[in-house]
Amino acid sequence: MTSTLAANVQGANRLKFTPDGKLVLVTPGSALVILDTATRKEVKRLPTVHGSGGIQMQPDGARAYVACGRDNYVAVIDLKTLEMVGKIEVASPDGLAWAVR
């Protein structure tokens, strides 16, 4: 089955579904937009997260990481509160991957 989400964002670059499939995170460049997949409505817009790069999720679904390349950090997003809870300073991040030792 294919569905469409009206993200209502200009210049959307990347998106990623949470591991449980309930939310989708979209990086249009000017903010991080979080949509509810069941209602297909925006539930949160974080204008301080200037994402335009990769999005990665912790396997347990607790946090998301969003590359904010032009601001030189990766934003740490708590997926329960839908708030930015930290920053990892790094030069020009873009694509992200999860690695396990």
Residue 49 lies in a domain: yes
Please determine, for residue 76, whether its predicted confidence score (pLDDT) is greater than 70. Answer: yes
Residue 97 lies in a domain: no
Q: Which of the pair, 99 or 81, is modelled with greater confidence?
A: 81
Q: pLDDT by residue (tens digit) across 23-65?
A: 999 988 788 999 999 998 999 999 989 867 899 999 999 999 9
The confidence score (pLDDT) of residue 5 equals 66
Positions of E strands within 1-101: 14-17, 23-27, 32-36, 41-46, 55-57, 63-68, 73-78, 83-89
Q: Which of the pair, 13 or 66, is modelled with greater confidence?
A: 66
The confidence score (pLDDT) of residue 20 equals 95
The count of domains in the chain is: 1
Residue 2 lies in a domain: no
Residue 23 lies in a domain: yes
**What residue numbers bound the domain in which 56 lies?**
14-89
